[in-house]
Amino acid sequence: MIQYLQLLLNTRRDDERGASAVEYGLLVALIAIIITVGVGLFGGALNNFFTDLSNTIAGW
Protein backbone atom coordinates (compact mmCIF):
# COMPACT_ATOMS: atom_id res chain seq x y z
CA MET A 1 0.00 0.00 0.00
CA ILE A 2 2.81 2.41 0.85
CA GLN A 3 4.52 1.64 -2.46
CA TYR A 4 1.28 2.41 -4.29
CA LEU A 5 1.00 5.80 -2.56
CA GLN A 6 4.63 6.61 -3.30
CA LEU A 7 4.12 5.72 -6.96
CA LEU A 8 0.95 7.81 -7.09
CA LEU A 9 2.66 10.83 -5.54
CA ASN A 10 5.70 10.54 -7.82
CA THR A 11 3.46 10.33 -10.88
CA ARG A 12 1.54 13.44 -9.84
CA ARG A 13 4.73 15.36 -9.14
CA ASP A 14 6.27 14.57 -12.53
CA ASP A 15 3.12 15.35 -14.52
CA GLU A 16 3.54 18.89 -15.87
CA ARG A 17 0.85 18.86 -18.54
CA GLY A 18 -1.37 21.18 -16.52
CA ALA A 19 1.48 23.61 -15.92
CA SER A 20 2.27 23.68 -19.63
CA ALA A 21 -1.36 24.41 -20.48
CA VAL A 22 -1.40 27.29 -18.02
CA GLU A 23 1.83 28.69 -19.46
CA TYR A 24 0.46 28.54 -23.01
CA GLY A 25 -2.74 30.20 -21.83
CA LEU A 26 -0.77 33.03 -20.24
CA LEU A 27 1.27 33.48 -23.42
CA VAL A 28 -1.88 33.68 -25.54
CA ALA A 29 -3.39 36.22 -23.14
CA LEU A 30 -0.22 38.33 -23.19
CA ILE A 31 -0.07 38.29 -26.99
CA ALA A 32 -3.76 39.28 -27.18
CA ILE A 33 -3.15 42.20 -24.80
CA ILE A 34 -0.13 43.37 -26.82
CA ILE A 35 -2.12 43.23 -30.08
CA THR A 36 -5.04 45.11 -28.52
CA VAL A 37 -2.79 47.84 -27.12
CA GLY A 38 -0.88 48.10 -30.41
CA VAL A 39 -4.05 48.49 -32.46
CA GLY A 40 -5.35 51.04 -29.99
CA LEU A 41 -2.17 53.10 -30.15
CA PHE A 42 -1.34 52.82 -33.84
CA GLY A 43 -4.73 52.03 -35.41
CA GLY A 44 -5.59 55.64 -36.23
CA ALA A 45 -2.14 56.38 -37.61
CA LEU A 46 -2.21 53.27 -39.80
CA ASN A 47 -5.68 54.16 -41.05
CA ASN A 48 -4.49 57.64 -42.02
CA PHE A 49 -1.39 56.23 -43.69
CA PHE A 50 -3.33 53.77 -45.84
CA THR A 51 -5.99 56.37 -46.67
CA ASP A 52 -3.29 58.80 -47.85
CA LEU A 53 -1.58 56.04 -49.79
CA SER A 54 -4.86 55.05 -51.44
CA ASN A 55 -5.57 58.66 -52.38
CA THR A 56 -2.07 59.06 -53.82
CA ILE A 57 -2.38 55.94 -55.92
CA ALA A 58 -5.87 56.93 -57.10
CA GLY A 59 -4.52 60.36 -58.16
CA TRP A 60 -1.99 58.92 -60.62
How does pLDDT run across 33-50, given as a tens digit for each residue? 999 999 999 999 999 999
* pLDDT tens track for 15-27: 566 678 889 999 9
Distance CA 40, CA 28 (A): 18
At CA 27, angle to CA 46 and CA 31, rounded to 5? Answer: 5
Give pTM, 2 decimals: 0.53
Q: What is the pLDDT of residue 24?
A: 92
Which amino acid is present at 54?
A: S
